[in-house]
């Protein structure tokens, strides 16, 4: 399996990886697991990647009452609390190391894009953060979870806009979200899909700037929907990915020099 090249600080076991580094890592993984997905804009079989490439086991349970926790990955044997289908009460559920537990609410056809993203998110935790949750981690339980042996996908982290990571928890959630997107919509395939989109519309490939014209505002919506359909992801996931790669940006966005040079086309 491809190893991640990352640096850890002296005060944390959470690896520091740039977004470009995560994109490169995703491409290496895909090249090793399913190279065909680098050559054409097709959906990445993230479930097969999770089960066959990473050798993780899948379980589906009702994890929380409010569905804020959509997935859990266990780095060690332990016990989690799940909701009993009949009584509605929380009950203990033993899990083995290398088990991914997904909330049953994501098993409907309508929720398939969210399910695929959760597969990618938990796979990313497994690939990147096992040392963070190791029993000998001297920095303690960084995320405040009662169980040190697992990482959970909570609905409280939004990596789409914020660039600042104030806690280790925010860092690992941002990394897992970004790597999940990079696996589901890898840059080479995404680039091809965008070129196809512009060719279909008779447009020269370019960055779309929202707020600059009604045409660009319309193209931003259409491109987002197009990418979501091709890669079988949610429109929100597609939009965030396109924004992170600055294929879609707001007028005035590039006044911040931090974004110069980060482009898809």
Report CA 194 to chain centroid distance, whole Å.
20
Is residue 169 within 8 Å of residue 143, measured between CB atoms? yes
Lookup result for tokens 């083995």: 96
Collapse the DSSP code of 80 into the 3-class scheme (helix H, G, I; strand E, B; otherwise coil) and give the result: strand
Which pLDDT value is given to residue 132?
Answer: 78
- Express each pLDDT in 121-177 by its tens digit: 999 999 998 877 776 655 455 454 444 556 665 554 455 544 556 677 788 889 999
Least Cα distance to 141 among 180, 172, 164, 162 occurs for: 172
Burial degree of 10 (CB within 10 A; 0-12, 13-18, 19+): exposed
Is residue 72 within 8 Å of residue 150, measured between CB atoms? yes
Is residue 170 within 8 Å of residue 157, measured between CB atoms? yes
Cβ-Cβ contacts under 8 Å for 86 (sequence gap 6 or more): none
pTM of the model: 0.89
Q: Which two tokens stand for residue 203?
A: 């447009």
Q: What are phi and psi of 60, to 5 degrees?
A: -120, 120
- Segment holding 94, helix H or strand E: strand 90-95
Which pLDDT value is given to residue 37?
Answer: 97
Which pLDDT value is given to residue 1?
Answer: 72
Q: Which two tokens stand for residue 43?
A: 């959906």
Which pLDDT value is given to residue 13?
Answer: 65
Low-confidence residues of the chain: pLDDT under 70? 5-13, 135-166, 254-263
Q: How far is CA 190 from CA 13, 218, 245, in A?
A: 32, 19, 10
Which pLDDT value is given to residue 258?
Answer: 47
Which pLDDT value is given to residue 195?
Answer: 97
Q: Concatenated DSSP letters for 148-209?
A: TTEEEEETT--TTT-----SHHHHHHHHHHHHHHHHHT-HHHHHHHHHHHHHHTT-----EE
Q: How far is CA 133 from CA 32, 46, 198, 242, in A?
A: 26, 23, 44, 31
- How far is it, in rounded angstroms, from Cα 24 to Cα 35? 14
Which pLDDT value is given to residue 197?
Answer: 98
- How far is it, in rounded angstroms, from Cα 51 to Cα 41? 22
């Amino acid at each position: 399996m491809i190893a991640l090249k990352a640096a850890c600080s002296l005060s944390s076991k959470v690896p520091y990886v740039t977004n470009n580094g995560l994109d490169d890592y995703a491409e290496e993984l895909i090249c090793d697991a399913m190279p065909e997905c680098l050559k054409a804009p097709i959906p990445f079989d993230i479930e097969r990647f999770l089960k066959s490439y990473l050798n993780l086991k899948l379980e589906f349970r009702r994890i929380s009452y409010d569905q804020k926790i959509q997935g859990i990955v266990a780095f060690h044997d332990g016990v989690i609390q799940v909701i009993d289908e009949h009584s509605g009460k929380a009950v203990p559920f033993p899990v083995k190391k290398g088990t991914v537990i997904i909330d049953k609410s994501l098993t409907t056809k309508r929720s398939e894009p969210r399910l695929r993203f959760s597969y990618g998110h938990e796979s990313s935790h497994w690939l990147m953060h096992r040392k963070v949750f190791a029993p000998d981690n001297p920095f303690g339980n960084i995320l405040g979870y009662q169980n040190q042996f697992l990482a959970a996908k909570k609905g409280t982290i939004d990596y789409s806009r914020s660039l600042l990571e104030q806690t280790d928890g925010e860092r690992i959630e941002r990394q897992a979200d970004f790597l999940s997107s990079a696996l589901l919509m890898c840059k080479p395939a995404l680039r091809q899909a965008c070129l196809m989109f512009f060719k279909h519309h008779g447009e020269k490939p370019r960055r779309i700037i929202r707020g600059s014209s009604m045409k660009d505002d319309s193209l931003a919506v259409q491109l987002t929907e197009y990418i979501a359909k091709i890669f079988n992801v949610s429109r929100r996931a597609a939009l965030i990915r396109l924004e992170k790669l600055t294929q879609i940006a707001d007028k005035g966005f590039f006044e911040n020099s931090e974004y110069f040079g980060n482009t898809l086309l």
